[in-house]
């Protein structure tokens, strides 16, 4: 999804959650990969993906960093050692990720620690 930076800014101003707005604006300024994530987050919430842990596990490989520009839900289990980055996590998903001793972060935290988006895979 390639949106212009102007379109992303216009759509971000309609958002009411300040965390989402800050994430979109930071992602917009941080390179091509994060610009795609900003485009997904700036669109309608209905178009943001909600992925279950089982779906993420099926599409991921060991050691990958997975970005979900939406919400991670707790259905299924994760058997691989991966790092999950998302806008939101359900409480059940957080608990399962902690039990599996994996790492999870918000998108904003990952942009600040990895502005060049090295080694990430975006899932929809």
Look up residue 13 and give its two tokens. 């101003």
Domain coordinates in residue numbering, the chain: 5-122
Mean pLDDT calculated for residue range 84-111: 94
Residues of the chain with pLDDT > 90, as a percent, come to 69
Q: Work out whether strand 103-106 and strand 120-122 pair parallel, antiparallel, or are unpaired.
A: unpaired
Distance CA 26, CA 64 (A): 23
Average pLDDT over all residues of the chain:
91
- The domain 5-122 is placed in CATH, from the list 3.100.10.10, 3.90.1490.10, 3.20.19.10, 3.50.50.60, at 3.100.10.10
pTM of the model: 0.88
Question: Which residues does residue 121 pair with via DSSP β-bridges, in sequence order?
Answer: 66
Question: Which residues does residue 106 pair with via DSSP β-bridges, in sequence order?
Answer: 86
Give the pLDDT confidence score for residue 47 in this predicted structure.
83
Give the pLDDT confidence score for residue 19 in this predicted structure.
92
């Amino acid at each position: 999804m390639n949106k212009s930076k102007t379109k992303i800014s216009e759509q971000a101003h309609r958002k009411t959650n300040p965390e989402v707005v800050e994430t979109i604006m930071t992602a917009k300024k941080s390179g091509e990969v994060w610009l795609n994530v900003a485009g997904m987050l700036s669109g309608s919430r209905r178009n943001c993906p909600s992925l279950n842990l089982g779906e993420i596990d099926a599409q991921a490989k060991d050691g990958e960093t997975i970005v979900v520009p939406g919400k991670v839900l707790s259905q299924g289990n994760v058997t691989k050692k991966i790092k999950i980055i998302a806008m939101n996590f359900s409480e059940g998903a957080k608990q399962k990720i902690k039990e599996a001793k994996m790492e999870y972060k918000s998108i904003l935290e990952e942009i600040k620690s990895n502005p060049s988006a090295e080694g990430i895979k975006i899932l929809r």
